[in-house]
Structure 1
């Protein structure tokens, strides 16, 4: 969040104050856009409203402490909103929760959508990190989440963001026997995780879920970038451990008139939510 200005910002004044015509400091000069390195009238300043908290911390303790929630988040797209039964795209979707972090201790779960933080609406995903970082370490705040088609409010005690803090959280996972299955409605071939598939797709020993073994070209899964080796962990926020469970939950959503399902996908050590269109044919 920057203020854009046509005031000249160069090496001598970058980092200094930006004044308005009343002589008030409204920002801290930060950066310019320039093809040559000199000012071309496109500059950016950090708003004073953001700088105040940092200045106060530096005066008090000589260091800046930023709030930490302990989640990895992603945008709520139109299709994800439909799959999550939200009225419109809003909030921040929790893709992973850090073990032992403030969010986990407060009961926030993978698949929750954070709608409000400390009384402020989270209109889009990118707003949340700034809200959390600006919150005092140790403060207790109310967080409103969307979980399984209903709103809930939890109280979170904000932690301190450390340089080595991990965004994603490991989970306890188990191995399954193979039961390959085709799912035409999503254009996927599925299987349970066997030692052979684990070796073939280089999966960790503790990975669990249902593995995608084939992706039909032009199918719904291919449209969303799913590929062989991806592991489906949840369907519509419910865990799955066999191909039949995936098929059952997709068919249930289809029978209830839903056009998309949300899949929690594990790929190369990371989680992401994907909304996949159900082929009604």
Structure 2
């Protein structure tokens, strides 16, 4: 039985830099998966409607709309809905509903092939350069075998997926074209609560839809990325808006009245899966950092403080921690350090358990969302000034951020391990299981990353991998030995949770 504190603190893990302060329940409610995107929705206990603001900026809205609409595209996600649905609580069904009509606790369902000419999901994207780079959400492109991009002028292209980041729900695509309309990034740190904004996307299959509202809050952590289970170190510091956002808007643009991009629309808070007043967008500064990393390095460069921590603004979390540890910590502002990872930059800089982080580089840290974006927008090797209190006294330390392995240098795809490249880790299959099921070899898949090569061929956590490239595997080292430095097509023989054996393949990244 897990302790109460562990239940309330799923994101306070060793080396964590990001997370959410409010854990929500996500749901998708729709009737046809071909007319809606794979949007995320946070179920709210507040069912009151918050209407759009429609009074008075006049021609400014027209200017912004004319600038934005040509640069916002439709993204069609084509995929095989294969046997990638196994787990005690199916993640796909948890968000999007069970298309088979069964309960959420079923271990596995039959494979279903979507018609080739029908997308499995629709979303939005934003052109950010004249040569065809497009930013969208990770969940819009997840699991795709093919991605089609349709411009506002109806021209269609097959897109290349350059890279994704589940931790921020950002993806980068590329189409081969020149002279395209595009949007400029604004400095999202400068946006103000009460500022007018437009949301532009393709909600409910209605292409090039523009809605208006204001920024109603900043720095929101809603628990949606940690809740979906594929973000290992989620960064949530959303811009909240009351501009109407619905299924299909995901990956679209949130712009100011000049038509500059201040956020990527990602989620809504709703009791029924449709707009009820609150939408959330990834801030432009964070989104820009992610896509710059993907373009330059092929992967996201993430710096870590190397601390486990607790959000002091969460009264329930603090109370549970006090009960668990027989302490008397007070709720309030800031992030409380509960421990350190191995090779922690924060610990080497002099921070101790019990310190309360209050600022990073002079910016106030009032809760975990503030800390997640302050550190999540940095890279390994960056130095940050961390202000903290200890025994009622203010202190400042210079912390050199590190990656999760303790390094301070940036990495490229060539530096990744085999597990990082294919998106899964592996545990040995015990001899008793092998004997009972007549297997001579096997490893169990763990931590399968959404959108990874392993996920694309239908492998999820707890599947049994028997052979890779015709060779038996019995350990993580066996997998690494076969694939380390390998550049060709990979053939994987595996067993699903119904005991069915498949052989599928992918090209080694």
TM-score (norm 1): 0.48
TM-score (norm 2): 0.28
